[in-house]
Amino acid sequence: MIFFKGIAIFFFALAVEAEEWVEIGVDALAVYYVDIDSIEVQVDSVRVTKQGVYNNIITENLGGEPRVFRKTRGVVEIDCRLRLNRVVQINMLDENDVSVWSSGSMRNRPWEKVLDNTHAEKTMDFVCNRLSNT
């Protein structure tokens, strides 16, 4: 019996960690993806995990030190009705998906207008259309 409980817990953990990345846009710097399994409806908005995979390794001064990363992965809130979004958490990852910096939760981030013809607009359209078709 304990053996079967262990197997059930193992498969539950796998299900919780499941990710299904869908490409939603490309620009000169990166390819952008959303994890459709992360889409979560809030009261007045939607949250989704988004990832940018950069064409080149990037170095930026974050937290007072230079950080080298190849990917960004963060949580974005989207207001489909008002066409606004905001990044509420972002992590910088190296080539091995190891976090080299994290913003932590940024609850007071301002909402921003989603600009036309950007990966932000493609993200919003993808997520909002997906919700309206369910």
Q: How far, CA to CA in Å, does 4 sit from each of 12, 17, 33, 61, 101?
A: 12, 20, 36, 49, 39
Q: Does residue 76 form part of some domain?
A: yes
The mean per-residue pLDDT over the stretch 14-32 comes to 83
**Helix (H) or strand (E) run with residue 52 in it:** strand 46-62
User: CB 25: neighbour CB atoms within 10 A?
Assistant: 20
Residue 72's domain comprises 19-132
Q: Does residue 25 form part of some domain?
A: yes
Which pLDDT band, with edges at 50, 70 and 90, does 9 fall under? very low
Q: Does residue 7 form part of some domain?
A: no
The mean per-residue pLDDT over the stretch 125-132 comes to 94
- Note the pLDDT of residue 133: 82
CATH number at residue 103: 2.40.128.710
Which pLDDT band, with edges at 50, 70 and 90, does 8 fall under? very low
Q: Does residue 55 form part of some domain?
A: yes
CA distance 26 to 41: 25
Which pLDDT band, with edges at 50, 70 and 90, does 63 fall under? confident
Q: Does residue 1 form part of some domain?
A: no
Q: Does residue 14 form part of some domain?
A: no
Q: How many domains does the chain have?
A: 1
pTM: 0.82
